[in-house]
Homo-oligomer: A and B are copies of this chain.
Amino acid sequence: MKQFLSVKDTSDPADLVRLARDLKKDPFQFENLGKRKTIGLIFLNPSLRTRMSMIKAAQLVGLNVIAFNLNQEGWKIETEDGVIMDGDNAEHINEAIPVISSYCDLLAIRSFPTLTDREYDYSEALLIKIQRLSSVPVINMESATVHPLQSLTDLVTIDELKKVERPKIVLSWAPHPRSLPQSVANSFLEWTLSHGHDITVVQPKGLELAKEFTGNAAVSYNQKEALSEADFVYVKNWSSYNEYGSIYRDPEWIISREKMRVTNEAKLMHCLPVRRNVVISEEILESPQSVVVQQAGNRVCAAQAVLVSLLKENG
């Protein structure tokens, strides 16, 4: 693996899933692989699981870690070319990334979408620019349209919990008070489809995800029908792709214990953080059907699999 920007960077997601599960069993088998090397973790947005699991995974493979909140601890970043920089942004990404990457052997970055300029976001212009500017392999810790570390984690979690070879997996939209990225949903579809899973995505009319990510997933507008006989229910809010970034609030779409009754005692998944009693009812979130904590715990072995793959091929 040369970089980790999206599912396209891995020849077979199943290989990464196997490596991650193997690392979960024996986390120290590559504890010297990263020795004398440094990973830079650059945050333009909040992060709990991604930040902590990346630090943990990096330490498990012997990497030195430099975590950096770019806009808070450094200077506010300008990302557009050709501007006259006489405003608030004091540093241009065209210098920041070459410089930061010169201090590192691997560079991981989190940068959320604008949610106002769909063309810009969906071109992944910023991530592509960062990759081009970096002198070392780049790891996507959530970009404008995808969150591949999360999706690899999701595959690992499904793999260790599935009871049948081809479980029914449903991705259900749920309400949320803020305008959220589509990235987790997008790359969940991309990774599960690429891995050969059968996926149904269900959302209110108008909340359809981009076709490039929906691919050949079954698309439904009837939550009850979609949930029927599901083995895994992945819940996630996203703002509108069509009326880009706009919020739709229909409390009827919350995932509750009642709704889960039609499933095949499905495992309930969510990437976290989750707003209780808005996205998912507290009752079902705290029930044994909910695997959100186990899922979040798998962020470590997933991140470690990515680091090991990158370090092996870019040693």
Contact = CB atoms under 8 A, between A and B. Distances in A.
A275 B102 contact: no
Contacts of A278: 84-86
Interface stretch (A36-44, A124-132, A224-232): A36-44
A276 interface: yes
A53 interface: yes
25 contacts: A28-B36, A38-B59, A46-B73, A47-B73, A48-B99, A49-B99, A51-B68, A55-B66, A56-B66, A82-B277, A84-B278, A85-B275, A85-B278, A86-B275, A91-B272, A91-B273, A92-B276, A94-B276, A95-B274, A95-B292, A99-B272, A99-B296, A102-B296, A103-B297, A103-B300
A96 B276 CA distance: 13
A138 B10 CA distance: 39
Interface residues of A, number: 59
Contacts of A103: 52-53, 56, 297, 300
A68 B52 contact: yes
A98 interface: yes
Interface of A: 28, 31, 36, 38, 40, 43, 46-49, 51-53, 55-56, 59, 64, 66, 68-70, 72-75, 78, 81-87, 90-92, 94-96, 98-100, 102-103, 177, 272-278, 282, 286, 292-293, 296-297, 300
A66 B83 CA distance: 37
Contacts of A86: 177, 275, 278
Contacts of A273: 75, 90-92, 95-96
A96 B51 CA distance: 13
Nearest to A279: B85
Leading 10 A-B pairs by shortest Cβ distance? A91-B273, A48-B74, A85-B275, A102-B297, A99-B296, A84-B277, A98-B293, A59-B64, A86-B177, A85-B276
Q: Which of A74, A91, A102 has the most CB of B within 10 A?
A: A102
Contact of A91 (B40, B48, B96): B48
A75 B293 CA distance: 16
Contact of A94 (B83, B87, B286): B286
A20 to B, nearest CB: 15
